[in-house]
Amino acid sequence: MTVLPKNRHMLVQAMSVPEEPKSSILVPEDYVSKQSSEYELVKILALAPDCSTSVHGAVGRRALVEGHMIKDVVIEGSEYKLVLENYMLAVLDDDQ
Decide: 51 and 63 in contact? Cβ < 8 Å.
no
The pLDDT value recorded for residue 20 is: 58
Going by the DSSP 8-state scheme, the letter that residue 57 receives in this structure is: G
Q: Which residue has the higher pLDDT, 38 or 82?
A: 82
The predicted-structure confidence for 41-74, as pLDDT tens digits, reads as follows 999 999 999 999 888 889 999 999 999 999 999 9
The pLDDT value recorded for residue 64 is: 95
Q: Which pTM was predicted? A: 0.76
Sign for the pseudo-dihedral over CA of 11, 14, 89, 53? negative
Give me the sheet containing 71-75, strands edge to edge: 71-75, 78-84, 9-14, 39-47, 62-66, 88-91
Average pLDDT, the chain: 86
Decide: 70 and 38 in contact? Cβ < 8 Å.
no
Task: Indicate whether 25 pLDDT > 90.
Answer: no
Q: What angle do CA 67, 72, 75 make, to 5 degrees?
A: 160
DSSP bridge partners of 82:
11, 71
Residues across the chain: 96
| Amino acid sitting at position 58 | A
